[in-house]
Every structure is written in structure tokens, then in C-alpha cells.
Amino acid sequence: IEIDVNADGSLPVADETLDLFDFVVAAFPQVNGADHSAMMQRVVTAAANPKISILGKPVGDFMLRGCEDTKDMEKVLKAAVAGGKAVEIDANPNCPEIDWACCRMAQELGVYMVISPNAHRAARLVDFRHGAQLAHDAGLICGWILNTKSSVEIRDYLGL
């Protein structure tokens, strides 16, 4: 399931409900009036939530804006590592491209990435190929992309 994270970094769904799903992707839509540091704190808080598996859209679109503040981005990515969270690579070709310097930073820090077609209908599942090409062009190592793992390795990562 993909779920929008509240402004304070909490989730709007009870833990018992989230337990019904194999994994949870946290989405970070813009919150009116939230500044950069509030958004960063929201992601850091969510990264500590044990119910979340993947930080989506990649980390609240921060990777799309050229790592405005590298120290903040490093803080978020370290929170992802500490919380055992992967970060989504949005493969929808209509989305802005990710800042690959941030993705390389994520990889260097030990953050797994997940290529997601962000498909809202079956016909868009082919967008996965675009995401694979983006990851390749960025020089990301396959071993740090969860989609390249075996089903056993993914289940282990997700704690299933």
C-alpha cells in the first residue's frame, strides 16, 4: 500500500490495518505552508516508523530539486538506513528526473533503492523500463536496487 504521511510524520492509518500489508510505501505530498526543514523533519520522522518499508516519490521530491541542502539530505538518507527503509526511484516518464548525485549519496550511505513504475493503471507497468534506464544512466549498482533481488532476499529485507 502507498499512503500519504501526515504533516507531523505520522501515518493516518492504524498500525493494525497496516499489518495487513506486506509493505508500506510512504508518500510525502506537499503540505501547505511547510518549509524545507519541516518537510525534512517529516521524512526523518517517517523513516523511523517500523510500519514503513519504502520512502516514496523519492523522499518527498527532494531528490528532484538538486539536493537543496546536502546536509539535510544526508540526514534523511541516514535516517532511512537507520530505519531500514528503501527509497523509491519513480519510473514514470512524466515525472521530473531524479537528481542522481542524491541517489549516489544514498547508495554510498547504504540505502537500497526500489524502481517503481508509479503505474495507476496496468498499461503503465511498462514504465519500469524507463526507471531501469534512469538507474543505469546514474551508475547505480544493481545490488543496491531491491528489484534486482530474489524473492527470498526481498522477503528477508521486508521481514516477511
Q: With contact defined as beta carbons under 8 Å apart, do 54 and 90 qualify?
A: no
Question: Which cell numbers in the block locate residue 37?
Answer: 526543514
pLDDT band at 131 (very low <50, low <70, confident <90, very high): confident
* Residue 69 pLDDT: 58
pLDDT in tens, 80-114: 999 999 988 888 777 765 666 777 888 899 999 99
Q: Give SS3 for 6.
A: coil
Residue 31: its pLDDT value, please? 74
Please determine, for residue 25, whether its predicted confidence score (pLDDT) is greater than 90: yes
- pLDDT of residue 138 exceeding 90, the answer is no
Residues 148, 132: contact at Cβ < 8 Å?
A: no
DSSP assignments along 22-48, one per residue: S--EEE----TT--HHHHHHHHHHHHT
